């Protein structure tokens, strides 16, 4: 990987990832795409079975230019992936409610990423354990060094899939509501209500055994 | 619609909506499904174009036993729906990070709904205007009565689709981490970090014209 391919680079837009409308919202640079993927705790994974699309929420983690997802070995969800079917992984961060003066211009501020690709299963033991550590550390950084690692039975019960970041695009809306000049004298509140995912106080599962570290919050999660 | 079909009733589980694993997490009662759909601000809509699944985040609203989504008339996204193709709409509310004593038992608390069906376009003028009002009121209750209604051009520029709630299931995980008896003496914090979507202070788009009401937050959105 050269410097040009790293954070400073961009994904090539393809016919399937090129925005046809509101092109100004499209982002293809790796830094923007990676930041969205790293902040999001859940992705929505789409696959086709028969002619029916299915969209499943699941945890995931990015490492370099791959996403890892996991699930129960033999489960219907991941069995569908094992055949090398095309998938779409979409990640959405909601940033605000955009309240305009006209119904038409109501909107949301958000950052989203769409990844098109094919999943392949990671079966090599060291690579699989590494991906599992990444998944645990995503929801609480550093935690994979504290938690008991998977035993043989747990390792066998888990399937890990990787999806390469090749055909990727992001879409971002930010800022105030749009509107028509004629609506500016309307007596109505207009603006943005910022929203974000926030954490409440941790609820311990007693009995806890000391010494232990307090849980570390994942990236981008604010305190309530 | 009889009383038995209302909130008190349940959706029939089908082969496509029956959980094969962790059946205890499955929910088919209307009250649970409606509550999740009404709290969520964004859905992920999956459809197939060619053999490729696409998953798009979009706003939506439930009314009775239908979901409404909207988009730009002529946009690629909604053009795909117009042909009566099967869709999957998935809605996910993240409730907590579940930090177990073992890597394997790490999880998330969440409430999700999966709707399988076919979208049909709403073209009748009154029904279309009604759905548009529902979409605006979803992100701020009562707002459709304050904002300027769509004019003819805006009405023509917007497509509205309805998806019936027929083949529907919910999935809910709540509560503390699971784990093995042998791990209970491990020195590690374990428990749940509650998470929820929260609103920050509204940012007005000046100049505002008085008199106006402060924006009303949608259902389930807490104050930061």
Beta-carbon-side half-sphere exposure of residue B158 (alpha carbons within 13 Å): 25
Tens digit of each residue's pLDDT (9 = 90 or more) over B18-37: 877 778 889 999 999 999 99
Residue B192 in any domain: the answer is no
Number of compact structural domains in chain A: 1
Task: Give the model's pLDDT for residue A220.
Answer: 81
Task: Give the model's pLDDT for residue A104.
Answer: 96
Structure tokens at A62: 């990015």
Q: Which residues of B touch A135 (CB under 8 A)?
A: 106
Q: List helix spans (H) across B5-151.
A: 30-39, 76-82, 125-139
Residue A15 in any domain: the answer is yes
DSSP string, chain A: --GGGSTTSBPPP-TTTS-SS-GGGEE-BHHHHHHHHHH-SEEEEEEEETTEEEEEEEEEEEETTEEEEEEETT-HHHHHHHT--EEEEEEEEEEEEEE-SBGGG-EEEEEEEEEEEE-EE--SHHHHHHHHHHHHHHHSTTGGGTSBPP-HHHHHHEEEEEEES-EEEEEEE-SSPP--GGGTTS-S--EEEEEEEEE---EE-SSP-SS-PPPPPPTTPEE-
CB contact under 8 A, B54 and A114: yes
Residue reference for tokens 């990832």: A17
- pLDDT tens across the length of chain A (224 residues): 444 445 679 999 998 888 777 778 899 999 999 999 999 999 999 999 888 999 999 999 999 999 999 988 877 667 777 778 899 999 999 999 999 999 999 999 999 999 999 999 999 999 999 999 999 999 999 999 999 999 999 999 999 999 999 999 999 999 999 999 999 999 999 999 999 999 999 999 999 999 999 999 998 898 88
d(C-alpha A219, C-alpha A210), whole Å: 26
- CATH number of the structural domain spanning residue A65: 2.30.110.10
Is pLDDT of B121 > 80?
Answer: yes
Residue A185 in any domain: the answer is no
Structure tokens at B176: 């503390």
Is pLDDT of B3 > 70?
Answer: no
Task: Give the model's pLDDT for residue A6.
Answer: 58
Residue B91 in any domain: the answer is yes
Is pLDDT of B194 > 50?
Answer: yes
d(C-alpha B63, C-alpha B165), whole Å: 10
What mean pLDDT is predicted for residues B113-141? 96
Residues B205 and B111 sit within 8 Å (Cβ to Cβ): no
d(C-alpha A198, C-alpha A214), whole Å: 17
Residue B185 in any domain: the answer is no
Task: Give the model's pLDDT for residue B1.
Answer: 39
Tens digit of each residue's pLDDT (9 = 90 or more) over B64-95: 999 999 988 877 667 777 778 899 999 999 99
Distance from CA of B120 to the nearest CA of A (A): 16
Residue B144 in any domain: the answer is yes
Chain pair A-B, CB pairs under 8 angstroms: 305
B100: DSSP letter: -
d(C-alpha B120, C-alpha B127), whole Å: 13
Residue B122 in any domain: the answer is yes
* ipTM for the complex shown: 0.94
Q: Which residues of A touch B51 (CB under 8 A)?
A: 48, 86
- Structural domain harbouring B90: 3-179+199-223
Residue B194 in any domain: the answer is no
d(C-alpha B171, C-alpha B36), whole Å: 10
For an interface test with A, give the residue of B16, B41, B46, B92 to mutate (most A CBs within 10 A).
Answer: B46
- More confident call, A17 vs B140: B140
Q: Rounded mean pLDDT of chain B?
A: 92
Residues A221 and A141 sit within 8 Å (Cβ to Cβ): no
CB contact under 8 A, B147 and A101: yes
Write the CA distances from B104 to A87, A114, A143, B60, integer angstroms: 25, 28, 12, 35
Q: With bands split at pLDDT 50, 70 and 90, how would you rate the model's confidence at B6?
A: low
Q: Which residues of B touch A99 (CB under 8 A)?
A: 139-140, 143, 215
Task: Give the model's pLDDT for residue A2.
Answer: 41
Task: Give the model's pLDDT for residue B18.
Answer: 85
Q: Which residues of B touch A16 (CB under 8 A)?
A: 52
């Amino acid at each position: 990987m050269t410097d040009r391919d790293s954070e400073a680079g961009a994904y090539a837009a393809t016919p399937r990832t090129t925005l046809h409308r509101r092109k100004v919202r499209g982002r293809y640079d790796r830094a923007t795409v990676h930041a969205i993927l790293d902040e999001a705790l859940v992705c929505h994974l789409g696959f086709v079975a028969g002619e029916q699309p299915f969209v499943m929420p699941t945890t995931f983690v990015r490492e370099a230019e791959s996403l890892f997802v996991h699930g129960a070995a033999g489960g219907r969800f991941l069995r569908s992936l094992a055949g090398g079917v095309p998938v779409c992984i979409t990640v959405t961060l909601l940033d605000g409610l955009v309240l305009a003066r006209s119904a038409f211009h109501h909107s949301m501020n958000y950052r989203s990423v769409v990844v098109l690709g094919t999943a392949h299963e990671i079966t090599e033991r060291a690579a699989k354990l590494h991906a599992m550590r990444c998944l645990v550390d995503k929801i609480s950084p550093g935690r994979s060094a504290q938690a008991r690692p998977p035993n043989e039975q747990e390792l066998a019960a888990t399937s890990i899939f990787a999806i390469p970041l090749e055909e990727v695009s992001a879409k971002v809306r930010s800022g105030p509501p749009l509107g028509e000049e004629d609506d500016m004298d309307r007596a109505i509140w207009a603006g943005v209500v910022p929203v974000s995912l926030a954490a409440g106080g941790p609820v311990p599962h007693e009995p806890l055994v000391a010494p232990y570290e307090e849980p570390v919050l994942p990236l981008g999660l604010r305190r309530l």
